[in-house]
Structure 1
Amino acid sequence: MINLDAKVLDKIVKNTIAAVEKSKSQIFDIYEAARAEAEKIRQDVERTKQETADIIFRVDELEKRERRSRLRLMEVSRNFRKYTEADIKAAYEDTSNVQLELAMARLQEQNLRRQRDDCELRLKALKSTVEKAESLVSQVGAVLGYLGSQMGTVMSQLETLQASQVFGAKIIKAQEEERRRVAREIHDGPAQSMANIVFRAEVCERLIETDIVRAKEELSDLREQVRVALRETRKIIFDLRPMTLDDLGLVPTLRRVLETVKERSLIFTELKILGQEKRLDAHVEIGLFRIIQEALNNVEKHSRAANAWVRIDFRASVVSAVVEDDGQGFDSAESVGKESFGLMGMRERINLLRGELSVKSEAGKGTRVFITVPLKQ
């Protein structure tokens, strides 16, 4: 049997997890940003194509009007006896107005054609980026799968050293430290979604020279996008590492999460505490919070529920929690072997805490998630 030092293994695993998580997060961010911007540019291409078709039709109609007005002007100009000076003046003004409108429409058509061509070139480049990023995500997934199998060997070795529980706590701590670092980076620097705002600003710059009214509308939309990006960035920071978890503990942090769910999704939420509320070990609070947070994310995204309840029971040797909703539910039997990444992550965390997790659901009757974590005596 290979004699491995627990501290060395801990350091190796911590560094490996930090490096892989960092790479996975960065690649996934690139993929998501490129895919999102490609979709927006595709919509811009479709919109610009439609606007180009509309202006081409308008130019054709104006050309017809311009020809008719010139013929009318020639007619009244040749027949002084039949038409008055007022008729000639009206025909001249009508021809001038139509010619001016036609010139502006032709200029707008040129601008729209140029915008359409630019958008199509950007879309082509972004599609290539998306394909490359998607390929990288798949490759990293394969690497993570390989590392996962290797981690199983490491965990077995640590179990022989009777240190798997401490090791699991250190893994969670390393993950949370990485989350805190990422949160600071997002907070101090621009979010990746700002790339789309920059592109919209470029569109506004072009529109200012050709269509000031449209430019004002685009700027109004741009301002709203900035507000949304700021709000989402703040939410990401909270999701990555809520400071209240360190300062106030599990229960106050969950109250804030439930209030956010209620405001964002209009789902009535309620938190009930049984037993004597108390602070737990840091890794237990973090693990419980992440598991409950993921369960609430599933309620918000998939359940179509009107109500959600969280119950936490503090006891001397164990803490338990139940997350329940009255949503559409699902067939638990049919879902065996088809668990989402979120639920898989919940099970991984509960295993590190040496706890138990079960999900009971039935179509049309909501879902309940049961969580139990033993405490040190």
Structure 2
Amino acid sequence: MSRFEEISILKEIAELLNEGADSNTVLAGVLRKLLHLTGLQTGWIFLIDEKGQHQLTANESLPEPLAHNNNQRMCKGDCWCVSRYNNGKLNKAVNIIECQRIENVILENAGDTGGLTHHATVPLRAGNERFGLLNVGSPHKTHFQKDELALLEAVAFQIGTALKRIKLTQREQETALISERNRLARDLHDSVNQLLFSLSLTARAGREMTDNEEVQQTFSYIQDLAQDALGEMRALIWQLKPQGLENGIVSALKSYAEMLALTIDAKLTGISSFPEKVEEALWRIGQEALGNCKKHAQTTHISLSLIRSNDSVTMTIQDQGCGFYFDENLELPSFGLKNMKARTEALRGTFLLTSEPGRGTEIKIQIPI
């Protein structure tokens, strides 16, 4: 491959990386482009978290035994490249690594690998920050030349830089969102909340100033509406800017339940500190669940269980209310439940809903940490 061809490849990949804002979409696109430009046939990208857990984020033209059952062989178990990465022994493009996953397929006689036996592996990093691995190979290819490895390493640096950019952009967006929520909460508290409170006092005063029963009933109705709206507004302000979250998620949910006139029995097992994104998800899901209890459960007593282990947190919210018929094979019946499930799965967690008429409802989520 000529120097001009290498520069052209790096240019095309750089243009593709600069366009993307979602890491999964970017990685899938750049892997496809890299294979097309280099003539290689197979590739996959592992993103690896701080605990050494890998996630298959992008793949292209995997042999059928590796792609079988939704890429199960690629998603589970350990392998040499991931182990070397986690041990700190994989810091640059490696000439050839025999693939343990492919070897397992051959040893188990699980299918035809199409001649793929080896792959090159390159760490994805930007400065001292590491993100995962880029693996590429082709059938019957058991050696990569130095210039090929140099090109792969350059591409890996580009990918690592793009991943860092996306990460920083997402962090900035989250910070801006929190700032906007706080501003909106302040505005609602200082304007609409105060107006509703004034309306309630005015209606009360109007009722006391007249002897006409019909007028009194009208003022009472206005006061009741103002009080209901005031309660809804306070709940909305809570959702935008939770008061008491600095004291922990359990304290915040207890306070929120109290504001909704619910009694909550809370049990915490393990330490109460969580990563920021996990705590935010627990808070939003807990809010939604308590709000559903208030609106639909026909009970004011709620049980909350929060269990923190070394690698996950499990939150269970249960009521003994009216319940409803639910078939887990069907779509979730409300937007609120769908939103809770989406928040959980966005953090690679699991969402479980159990409910029966007359036997209450239980929502259980588990999120890895």
Q: TM-score, normalised by structure 2?
A: 0.48
Bigger Cα Rg: 1
Structure in which a larger fraction of residues adopt strand: 2
Structure in which a larger fraction of residues adopt helix: 1
Q: TM-score, normalised by structure 1?
A: 0.47
